[in-house]
Amino acid sequence: MPAAISRGTQRRRSGGPSSTQRDPGGYEWPSLSGEGNTITSAWLPACDVFESNDRVKIVAEIPGVTPDDVKLTLENNLLTIRGEKKQESEDRTDRVHRYERSYGAFERSFVLPSTTDPDRIEASYKDGILTITVAKVEKARPRQIVVQAS
C-alpha cells in the first residue's frame, strides 16, 4: 500500500511505525498529509494511490460531496484535495439518537513523484468516487531497447 492515512493506520496495516511506505519502484510515499504530523480535517476521505509505468492514479471516496464542493491544487509536486461535505438539513422535531456520518471540511495532500507531468492531470467524479490521474513525463517511462545484431 503506497500511502497511509496516519501513523496509527499505517502501523495497523504494515505492522511497523515507519512514516513512509516504499513501493517496488523505490519511491517513498509520505504517510501523512502536510508539513506536520497532525490531522486538521473534520474527516478524511479514504484514498488509494496506484502507480504504473505511465501514470499515478489517486482514487478518493467522497460520498455526499458534489464536484462543485471539491477543489484540487498542485504546488511544487504537492497535490491537495480540499472539499466539504455539507450536513443535510435535519427535522428539528426528531430526537437524535446517534450521529455517525462525517460532515465538514476535509483536506488530503499527496507528494507526487518528480517523474509526473504537472500539465497532464485529469480528474473525474462519479458515484461518490473522485479519480485523479497524473501522467508521467515521457522520459521517465521505461522503454525497451532493441539490440541489433552486427
Question: Residue 65 belongs to a domain with what CATH number?
Answer: 2.60.40.790
Q: Which domain holds residue 115?
A: 36-88+99-138
The answer to whether position 46 is within a domain reads yes
> Which residues are registered as beta bridge partners of 55?
135
Percent of the chain with pLDDT over 70: 70
Q: Are 36 and 25 a contacting pair, CB within 8 Å?
A: no
The answer to whether position 60 is within a domain reads yes
pLDDT for res 87: 79
The answer to whether position 12 is within a domain reads no
Record the pTM: 0.66
- The three cell numbers of residue 138 are 515521457
DSSP for 57-100 reads EEEEE-TT--GGGEEEEEETTEEEEEEEEPPPP--TTSPP----
Question: Rounded mean pLDDT of 99-114?
Answer: 89
The answer to whether position 22 is within a domain reads no
The answer to whether position 146 is within a domain reads no
pLDDT per residue over 38-82, tens digit each?
A: 445 578 899 999 999 999 999 999 999 999 999 999 999 999 999
The answer to whether position 3 is within a domain reads no
The answer to whether position 51 is within a domain reads yes
Number of domains in the chain: 1
Residue 119 to residue 140: CA distance in whole angstroms: 15
Q: What is the mean pLDDT of the chain?
A: 78
Element (H, E) at 11: helix 7-14
The answer to whether position 20 is within a domain reads no
Asked whether residue 115 carries a pLDDT value surpassing 60, the answer given is: yes
Residue 20 to residue 32: CA distance in whole angstroms: 8
Element (H, E) at 128: none
Write the CB contacts of 37 (distance below 8 Å, at least 6 apart in sequence).
7, 19
Report the b/e string of 12-33 with b at 16+ CB within 10 A: eeeeeeeeebebeeebebbbbb
